Amino acid sequence: MADYRKMWESLGLNLEAHDQLMDILPPTYGTVFLNQENRPEAMEYFDFVFSEVHGQRIQELLDHKAADGKVIGAFCVYVPEEIIRAAGGICIGLCSGADIGTAQAEKVLPRNICPLIKSFMGFKLGKVCPYFESCDMVVGETTCDGKKKAFEILNDYVPVHVLETPHMKREKDKALWRSEVRDFLTEVEGYTGNKITLDSLRQAIKESNDKRRALLRLNELRRYDPAPISSKDCLLIEQIAMYDDVSRFTAQVNALCDELEKRVQESRGVTEPGAPRLILSGTPMALPNWKVPHVIETSGAVIVAEEMCTGLRYFENLVPEEGENIEQLVEAIADRYLDINCACFTPNEGRMKKLVTLAEELKADGVINCTLAFCDPYLVEANRVEKVLKGHHIPLLNLETDYGQEDSGQIKTRVEAFLEMLDK
């Protein structure tokens, strides 16, 4: 890796804490990803991106800023990236998947709060994430209470624009959300100093849709038995999608799909044919929180879809590309995002229907519903998930975990017992 220390220093990173993070990541990556058997060759690009996770891409962001461009961070798949892109900005999904800066985070947050919230506060206060430190502004949302209140605190350290996400999907909620997205467009124009035009918005929609189309193509290929790619690799790709250059990323995913199509024709996969096929659902599994998929896929099963925000919820549903004026396009964008099935909404029947359809279409043997500790919306919704899946005779395992490794053994025991029960 090139020497990026000066760059990190210029961003004000705490180099000592950052070194500790960089000491852990590569060996863990080797164990979890590079040790997998029969990986597609085109994963080389994504391995490279990961090896440069705090290097080359950060340099690209800084070059963009040096040319008067803005970098805007997001914590939720409700943030309409098309609008940021149409104004010449770069949208970065901030990952929040590691227990870092916990001591600092606990100075401003309660101890018993979701690890994802604690993580983003820890990353910021601990100054360990060059993506966070590259952001000129971050976009928050009023999804869950913990996040909503944490953004008030975060605003002391970086400008935060909060989108009011409604909690229901009635016509009046849709009207509120559309007006929020319109206001967001004005905010982004003011922040970047760039006027969004019909052409720039159309172009941004098309490019974001192309990225979604590539990810949908990748996911479609996972319906085959044996699955041509692992969930861990898909999770990695789905998260690189949130920060990589959009066009380059799209081309690389399509190249990977070309290879996977050949694998499917040759019946080559990452497991033996007939391995148990599972759907992973629940709260986001932000990088580098790979514990659960690693346990599942080293227990002989294969995950064939992630019904999560680090998965399908991020890229299913395209924004219609027609539209005669900016207002129509903004409405189309708002409506596409309101279709995301987050447990912060009530009711959230869309998620239940999606799980049943996925299980049927992908011939899944069961669902693992994994929730982060202290996440009330998803922990409470586990009851609905259980009831609906039971009604469709779809086996379910509910897990609750955090970012520590202490429960790995216990999770493995429960996953193995679940696989045995499936009797495959």
Question: Which one, 13 or 242, has the nearer CB to ligand BJ8?
Answer: 242
Task: Please report how many Cα atoms fall inside a 13 Å half-sphere around the Cα of residue 310, on the Cβ side.
Answer: 29
In angstroms, rounded to a whole number, what is the distance separating the alpha carbons of residues 201 and 131?
25
Strands (DSSP E) contained in 94-244 are 137-141, 160-163
For the chain, the maximum distance between any two Cα atoms, rounded to a whole number of angstroms, is 60
Q: Which of 77, 329, 364, 382 binds ligand BJ8 (CB under 6 A)?
A: 77
Site mask, ligand BJ8, residues 362-401, x = CB under 6 A? Answer: ----------x--x-xx-----------------------
156-185: contacts with ligand BJ8 (CB under 6 A): none
How deeply is 122 buried, as exposed, middle or buried, from its count of CB atoms within 10 A (0-12, 13-18, 19+)?
Answer: buried
311-350: contacts with ligand BJ8 (CB under 6 A): 340, 342, 344
As measured in angstroms, the least distance from the Cβ of 124 to ligand BJ8 is 15
Question: Which one, 114 or 196, has the nearer CB to ligand BJ8?
Answer: 114
Q: Are 269 and 263 in contact (CB under 8 A)?
A: yes
Distances (CA, A) of 133 to 137, 155, 193: 10, 14, 21
Question: Which one, 21 or 109, has the nearer CB to ligand BJ8?
Answer: 109
The three-state (H, E, C) secondary structure of 51-104, written as one string: HCCCCHHHHHHHHHHHCCCCEEEECCCCCCHHHHHHCCCEEEECCCCCCCCHHH
How many residues line the site for ligand BJ8 (CB under 6 A)? Answer: 20
In angstroms, rounded to a whole number, what is the distance separating the alpha carbons of residues 96 and 126?
13
Q: Are 187 and 64 in contact (CB under 8 A)?
A: no
Question: Which one, 109 or 301, has the nearer CB to ligand BJ8?
Answer: 109
Question: Which one, 46 or 314, has the nearer CB to ligand BJ8?
Answer: 314
As measured in angstroms, the least distance from the Cβ of 313 to ligand BJ8 is 6
As measured in angstroms, the least distance from the Cβ of 264 to ligand BJ8 is 30
Is residue 218 a contact point for ligand BJ8 (CB under 6 A)?
no
113-152: contacts with ligand BJ8 (CB under 6 A): 114, 116-117, 143-144, 146-147
As measured in angstroms, the least distance from the Cβ of 345 to ligand BJ8 is 8
Question: Which one, 260 or 280, has the nearer CB to ligand BJ8?
Answer: 280
Question: Which one, 78 or 184, has the nearer CB to ligand BJ8?
Answer: 78
Site mask, ligand BJ8, residues 246-285, x = CB under 6 A? Answer: -------------------------------------xx-
All residues at 6 or more sequence positions from 65 whose CB lies less than 8 Å from its CB, including other chains: 71, 134, 136
As measured in angstroms, the least distance from the Cβ of 219 to ligand BJ8 is 17
φ, ψ (nearest 5 deg) of residue 280: -105, 130
Distances (CA, A) of 106 to 21, 99, 112, 133: 19, 11, 9, 20
Question: Which one, 80 or 146, has the nearer CB to ligand BJ8?
Answer: 146
Which residues here bind ligand BJ8, judged by CB under 6 A?
76-78, 114, 116-117, 143-144, 146-147, 283-284, 309, 340, 342, 344, 372, 375, 377-378
